[in-house]
Every structure is written in structure tokens, then in C-alpha cells.
Amino acid sequence: MEITSKESSWKKEEEEEEAKIQIYKYVFGFAEAAVIKCAVELKIADAIESHGRPMTLSQLSSALNCSPPLLFRILRFLVHRGIFKQQTTAEGPIAYSQTPLSRMLTTMASLLLLENSPTMVAPWHNLSAKVKADAAGHSNLFEAAHGKDIWSYAAANPAFNTLFNEGLDCNARVVTLPAILGSCRDMFNGVGSLVDVGGGNGTTLSVLVKACPWMKGINFDLPNVVSTSQEYEGVQHVGGSMFDYVPKADAAFFMWILHAWDDEECIKILKNCKEAIPENTGKVMIVDTVIDEKEENKLLLDIRLTLDIMLMTRFRKGRERTGEEWANLLKKAGFSRCIITPIVGVVPSIIQAFIS
């Protein structure tokens, strides 16, 4: 059906009217994260969970030692976004109950508090300076904000180091690893030893080794990271730099690591992995974002594109990659082939690379 000029004009007017309202979503875009952080810090979800049933405003404000009128406004905001539910009790007052999303606030609290901490938020405020002034993309906004890159900052600030590792481990333990072990456990078959490169405090590897007890694990990260790691059965902690070497194992594993580095740096790391694994049977397993602009799940695509911008604020040359870019990168590092497998329902994919 042909669209008349009058219909086209109406559509344009509707879009302009909608834009006048929608603009406020972006003006106050920070507010949603701030209120959710507030809910986590107050432990609203924890209180309802411990209570075992929906709680009234009076019960919640008493349990949390909060101002009832202010807490009401926070809860109203969160109910509107589907994070909590409200219902009428037999006694009359409205009560607040949990949702799957509010329970995730509890389990993912460490990651949320990390990403919304002043340390992590500060570099975002200079994003335009990086885009405008650094055509080569080599400036480090985190370093500009804090005087050190993120790794040196973590080494010098034990409290942040703990927050950083707990946040990343929380994401792995709650979301990513269950999805991997639920749908891709077969990729660990025949792997007698696995080195987790950039494995943090070893939580990820401990989960993998427990799920695949035939494997022995080597948790490889910077000395200041592994020095504070707890001991796990079947996991050996090794301190060092992946730019110098990678400990020998049947297979190498990366999770959310290579996206922090540019192609040249990744090739160096991957070549070190190639030297560490058997030529005929060894492989590298990479859990990382793969951007596909044709992705049908628009929420997943939006998160992946957001992560790409996040890397601009955090690392000198970090970036997310498309499937073609991952394949080209691995070929330059000396791997003959790779297999990219999306993990259903989560942000990253699994990229398996083989020497022969």
C-alpha cells in the first residue's frame, strides 16, 4: 500500500512527539543503575527472602532501619520496572515480594557493585575525549582517571582487587559457567589438564574441575592475584604473565580475557598458548563476546554492544569482535581452524581453536 504524503507527515509528527518524551530516558539514564545499586546496598531482596513471605512497607522499613516514605519511593520505582512485585495482604496493607530479577540482584550483587563503583564509573565521563582526541584509540581512560591502568590499580588497592575479582567470579559462577556446563560440557572430554589463563582467584577453574573431575586445573594469573586465592581441590595456582609464557596443559581456557587486548597483543598471548598445548590434540577454548548485528535477540545484542563501549573506558585497546574477526585473529596466531558456538541464553560464545 502506497503511503500518502499526509500519512508520512502524521508519522513524522508522532515520532517527534515520542522523542520529546523519550529524551528524558537518556537524560536520566544513570538513575536506574543508581536506584538498583541502592536496593542492593539496602539488601531489600535479602530481607524479603529471609522473611520467607511478602513484607509490608512497615516491616521492610523496620528490618532495614530505613525511612518509610523514602523506601516507599524506591520500591515504587523498582516495582514499576518489574524488579519487585506488590500485592494486597489479607490485613490490608500492600506487601512486596520477590521476582526472578530481584533474586538475581542478590546473586549478582558483587558484579553490580563493582560496575557501579565510583572507580569503575569515573572513566565513562571522559568517553568523548577518547573518541575525539585519540584517533589511534590508544589512550587509557581508566589510567587517566586513576593514574594507573586497571591491573596496576588493583595490585595497589587490595579492597578494589577483592571487589574486582569477586565481581567477575560472581558473573562466571552464577550465569556463564552453568550455561557452559549445561550445553557444552562435551568440549572438556579428553582434556586431562586445563590451564585457565587470566583465571583470577580460581573460582571459575574450581567449578570446571568439580564438574569434570578427570581434569587437573592450573589457575594462571598475575602474582598479586593468585597470592590471595584460596586453595581448591584439583587446582594449582601459578603466578606469572601470559605475555611471557603459559603453563603447559592439554588445553588452554580464557573467559572474558582476550577482549581486553588488541590483535597484536592477543596474537602474542595465543602463540604462547600454542607452545603450551600438544600440537595434535591440544586446543584453546575462549569464552568471549561475538558480535553479530543480525542477532535476533535484541537484548543480547544490546548488552554485547554495551560491553564493547565499556572496553573503551577500561582498557587501552580493548574491543569486542565479530566471528570473522575472531577467525582471522586465530589464523594469524597459527591455529588452522576454529569453531564458534553460541551459548544459549547468555552473552558470550565459545570459540574453540585447534592447531591441526
Quick one: which H or E segment has residue 308? helix 298-314
**Residue 2: predicted pLDDT:** 55
**Residue 130: predicted pLDDT:** 85
Closest to 102 in 3D by CA, of 44, 146, 54 = 44
The residue whose grid cell reads 538513575 is 31
* Residue 259 known to be catalytic: yes
**Residue 169: predicted pLDDT:** 85
CA angle 257, 226, 122 (to 5 degrees): 55
Burial of 159 per CB tally in 10 Å (0-12, 13-18, 19+): exposed
Q: Quick one: residue 48, left, alpha or beta (phi over 0 = left, psi -120 to 50 = alpha)?
A: alpha
Catalytic residue (choose from 51, 80, 237, 259): 259
**Residue 64: predicted pLDDT:** 97
277-302 residue pLDDT tens: 999 999 999 999 999 999 889 999 99
Burial of 59 per CB tally in 10 Å (0-12, 13-18, 19+): middle
**Residue 49: predicted pLDDT:** 97
**Residue 136: predicted pLDDT:** 54
Displacement of CA 225 from its chain's centroid (Å)? 19
**Residue 51: predicted pLDDT:** 96
Global confidence as pTM: 0.89
**Residue 89: predicted pLDDT:** 73
DSSP H helices in 93-220: 100-107, 109-115, 118-121, 127-133, 141-146, 150-156, 158-171, 177-183, 203-211
Q: What is the mean pLDDT of each run of 10 residues along the chain (356 residues)?
A: 68 89 93 96 97 96 97 98 90 90 94 96 92 70 94 92 89 90 93 96 93 97 88 96 98 96 97 96 97 92 96 92 97 96 92 95
**Residue 142: predicted pLDDT:** 95
Closest to 200 in 3D by CA, of 173, 157, 169, 170 = 169
**Residue 138: predicted pLDDT:** 63
**Residue 13: predicted pLDDT:** 86
Strands (E), 279-331: 283-288, 290-291, 321-322
Displacement of CA 110 from its chain's centroid (Å)? 11
